[in-house]
Structure 1
Amino acid sequence: MRTERNLTRLDRVFARLDREPERPAHIDVPKMSRHRVALLTGTLAFYLAIVWLIVTTSWLVRFDWQVMFFRPYQQWAGIHWFVDYYVVLGQRGPTAVMVAAWLGWRSWRQHTLRPLLTLGASLLLLNITVGAAKYGMGRLGPHYATTIGSNEMGLGGDIFPSGHTANAVVTWGILAYLASTPRARRWLSALSAVTALGVGLATVYLGTHWLSDVLLGWAAGLLILLALPWCEPGIAKAEIALFDLRDRWRARKGATAPAAPIGAPVPLKPRTATAQDEAAARETVTSAARSARAPAYLAPGPHTARSERTPVTPVGSRRPPHSDRIPRGATASTARPLGG
């Protein structure tokens, strides 16, 4: 008889994570050093400068129009098919799925939820900051521009900053941020930078963004990556809260209770008696009283086999009496009257 509970898929996942409850020692958590704070300050200043140049319709706006009239997709039409596929590396849906699959495997191997939680925090910051800037400034794209030489701000658009570029910086840069060794961090940083640069230029080539949109998208994504160490305490608390929730769920399901040995009595929890319980108790008492009384056709003594019983000889004749028959042992003279 098996007393073990069948484990669900979620139980097996958490059992794998429980094998090493602490994060491996060779994986360090980035902190807000002076170098990082200086980069964050410089990137923020660059971000604000780009916005100011566009709002004031400066030389950057004129350069945007020159690039748009150059029409790169017509100048280099032979690579149009490649750029159409390459720009997918900046779309939020496909890139998030690919990176989440890789970080999920990392979480499985390193026995920690930090990679997935860090990705979720970065994407949340990306949606909030970039989305607010897009709808707040409302700039129209090159295909929907109304006045030549204008900055197209406040007209209900949503392309400033470039979401493709910012998403490429954050999604691929998170791999370098979570790298296990300094060498891997350097290589992944260079690879993510080249990928984000190519995605931004691809949007300019296709004519879906101004060049200034791409510049602001690079800055917006880099700001999120540089500010992630401030989110590390919240990520650690979220990881602890998830494991506590798992433990409470297991306790509620009875997964933490030890299995009782075979043949041992299982203690029952006392509960309040209901009307159905009282009716069942009365029926039990009645059936017990009925079974205690022996039937009328049974002897009161103990049951014995047929071979152990004492034979009993019946007394008298077993035939019914008849008036015309002569009893045995009687003479004919006494049995019948004489005829005259």
Structure 2
Amino acid sequence: MRTDDKLDQMEERPTDRVRPPSMTRTRMWLFWGTLAVYLAIVAGVLATSWLVTFDWQVMFFRPYKQWPEIHAFLDYFVVLGQRGPTAVAVAAWLGWRCWRQRNLHPLLVLGASLLLLNITVGAAKLGMGRLGPHYATVVGANEMGLGGDIFPSGHTANAVVTWGVLAYLATTSLRRRTLSVIAALGALGVGMTTVYLGTHWVSDVLLGWAAGLLVLLAMPWLEPGITWFEDRLMGILLRLWLRLRPDSLRGPLPVGSLAPGVSRQRIAPDGEVLVREPISAGTGGRSAAHTPDGWPHHPSRPYTIRSERAPAAPAGSRRPPHADRMPRTIPLSPTSGRGRNASG
């Protein structure tokens, strides 16, 4: 692919980019409903309600001792909620999509969602300081404000957001629904696995699901900022490319693309003129351009069919005449033929 073709794809928005989900009324109701559930869980734990009692009952049940045969498998399955491995795997897939679509939108959406997740979940963990089941001090207490960092569950929230971003960036409604179901089941499995292993209370997992879902539902509000940042970043990349290879974007103009005397220019997303190429008015836009090595470069001619092309040679035989060969238009005499046979 030529450099100017790459620039055209970088300057213009690709047509295959799917419009991201907008903040519809249904999505708004889901957001505020999930926020109400989030606050209700926090209030229930702070008030040491029946939710805390259920946490202790599950902890004393010790699921990892009830079903020890699946312990080894779940030790690996819970990795689907760890921030590092899941972010690398999803970023690799979205990076391939960025290269294919010639834009940075998928990776920027992933980065913005993980940044929002780390800020909100991290602030809640440090603010409430709840201890986990393995470090509990008083039976029946909510273990809040003791310097812990497990409420809400980071594994669960990260599984919801990281795998949910794939559904958010799906190209069709069918794929979006399918990936949403897969992401929901994966996040459900990761959350229940942390309860099985005894690393989280049940209320930690419930709050982690709500925290991750809030981030996904709030993503349409971040789309204008993501688009603004993407445009500025693409402009920086274009200027860097021109600085490294200043002559890579110069070349001949297509025949008949512009009127005589009009110059063609390439404009960056921020409005800066990158390349301006004048066209000679006397030649009707077909003047020869010069390549960086100094040799003239002429634009290609328009394609014509065989019947419209001028003949390269006059009509007739292309075989050169021979001095010792008589033309076939002169008939041979009978005597010359008998003489030739006699001599042979």
Q: Does 1:168 align with 2:159?
A: yes
Indicate the percent of aligned positions where both proteins have the same amino acid.
65
Contact 1:165–1:196 (Cα < 8 Å) also in 2: yes
SS at match of 1:209: coil
Which residue of 2 is the match for residue 192 of structure 1?
A: 183
Q: In the alignment, which residue of structure 2 is the partner of 1:41?
A: 32
Number of equivalences: 254
Higher mean C-alpha displacement, 109-118 vs 69-78:
109-118
Name the structure with the higher helix share.
Answer: 1
1:262 lines up with 2:253 in the alignment: no
Query: What is the CA–CA distance in structure 1 between the aligned matches of 2:219 and 2:295, rounded to whole Å?
Result: 57
> Which residue, out of 244, 248, 266, partners 2:235?
244
Deviation at 1:21? 2.8
> By how many angstroms is 1:256 displaced?
4.6
Counterpart Cα distance in 2 of 1:205 and 1:212:
13
**TM-score, scaled to structure 1:** 0.71
Among residues 83, 86, 89, which one is paired with 2:80 in the alignment?
Answer: 89
Spell out the pairing of 1:69-148 with structure 2 (5 A cutoff).
Answer: 69-148=60-139
Q: Tell me: CA distance 1:43–1:22, structure 2 relative to 1, closer, same or farther (3 Å).
A: same
Deviations 1:81-121 (A, max 9, x none): 01101000000000000000111111122222110000000
CA contact (8 A) 1:250 1:256 kept: no
Counterpart for residue 158 of structure 1: 149
Q: Does 1:53 align with 2:44?
A: yes
Q: 2:202 matched to 1:211?
A: yes
- The equivalent of 1:284 in structure 2 is none
Q: Indicate whether 1:230 and 2:218 are aligned.
A: no
CA displacement, residues 192-223 of structure 1 (integer Å, 9 cap, x when unaligned): 00000000000000000000000000000000
Q: Which protein has the larger Cα radius of gyration, Structure 1 or Structure 2? A: 1
CA contact (8 A) 1:162 1:214 kept: yes
Distance 1:209 1:229 in 2: 31
2:152 and 2:208 in contact (8 A); partners too: yes
CA distance in 2, matches of 1:148, 1:205: 19
Checking the alignment, whether the CA contact within 8 Å between 2:35 and 2:210 is kept in structure 1 is: yes
TM-superposed deviation, 1:263: 6.4
Distance 1:181 1:262 in 2: 50
CA contact (8 A) 2:17 2:101 kept: no
8 A contact 2:247–2:292 mirrored in 1: no
Distance 1:17-1:142 versus aligned 2 partners, 3 A rule: farther
Judge conservation of contact 1:54–1:60 (CA < 8 Å) in 2: yes
Aligned to 2:212: 221
Shift of 1:176: 0.3
For structure 2, the 5+ residue unaligned runs are: 251-290, 297-344
User: Alpha carbons of 1:17 and 1:160: their partners in 2 closer, same or farther (altered >3 Å)?
Assistant: farther
**Letter of the aligned partner of 2:292 in structure 1?**
A
**Is 1:204–1:210's contact at 8 Å kept on the other side of the alignment?**
yes
Deviations 1:270-318 (A, max 9, x none): xxxxxxxxxxxxxxxxxxxxxxxxxxxxxxxxxxxxxxxxxxxxxxxxx
Q: Which has the higher contact order (CA 8 A, sep 6+)?
A: 1
Displacement, 1:238?
Answer: 1.0
Q: Take 1:182 and 1:169, find their aligned partners in 2: how far apart are those partners?
A: 19
Provide closer, same or farther for how the CA distance between residues 243 and 40 of structure 1 changes in structure 2, counting only shifts above 3 A. same
